[in-house]
Amino acid sequence: MSADTKQNPITQNTITIDGQEIPFLAGQTIMDAALAAGVYIPHLCHRQGLTPHGSCKLCVVDIASRSASACTMPAVAGQQISNNTPALNEARKTITQMLFIEGNHICPSCEKCGDCTLQAMAYHLGMLGGHFPQFFQRREVDASHPTIMLDRDRCILCELCVRASREVDGKDVFAIAGRGINAHLVVNSVRGKLVDSDLETSDMAAHICPVGAILIKEHGYEVPIGQRTFDLHQVSEVGLEKTILTKVRQPDE
With 0-12 / 13-18 / 19 or more C-beta atoms within 10 angstroms meaning exposed / middle / buried, residue 20 is middle
Mean pLDDT of 167-187: 93
Return the H-helix or E-strand segment holding 229: helix 229-232
Q: Which domain holds residue 134?
A: 106-231
Higher-confidence residue of 198 and 4: namely: 198
- The overall longest dimension of the chain from CA atoms, in Å, is 77
Both 225 and 181 in one domain: the answer is: yes
pLDDT of residue 9: 45
Q: In this structure, are residues 17 and 34 in contact, taking their beta carbons and an 8 Å threshold?
A: yes
Both 113 and 212 in one domain: the answer is: yes
Q: In this structure, are residues 47 and 162 in contact, taking their beta carbons and an 8 Å threshold?
A: no
In a domain, 243, yes or no: no
Return the H-helix or E-strand segment holding 216: strand 214-216
**CATH number of the structural domain spanning residue 223:** 3.30.70.20
Residue 227's CB is within 10 A of a number of other CB atoms, namely 9
Both 212 and 149 in one domain: the answer is: yes
Both 75 and 125 in one domain: the answer is: no
Both 65 and 132 in one domain: the answer is: no
pLDDT in tens, 202-243: 999 999 999 999 999 998 888 888 899 999 999 998 888 755
In a domain, 244, yes or no: no
Count of domains observed in the chain: 2
Closest Cα partner for 95 from 132, 65, 41, 61?
132
Question: What global pTM score does this model have?
Answer: 0.86
Both 120 and 219 in one domain: the answer is: yes
pLDDT in tens, 97-154: 999 998 888 888 888 999 999 999 999 999 988 888 887 778 889 999 999 999 998 9
Euclidean distance between CA atoms 29 and 14, whole angstroms = 12
Both 79 and 116 in one domain: the answer is: no
With 0-12 / 13-18 / 19 or more C-beta atoms within 10 angstroms meaning exposed / middle / buried, residue 6 is exposed
Both 224 and 152 in one domain: the answer is: yes
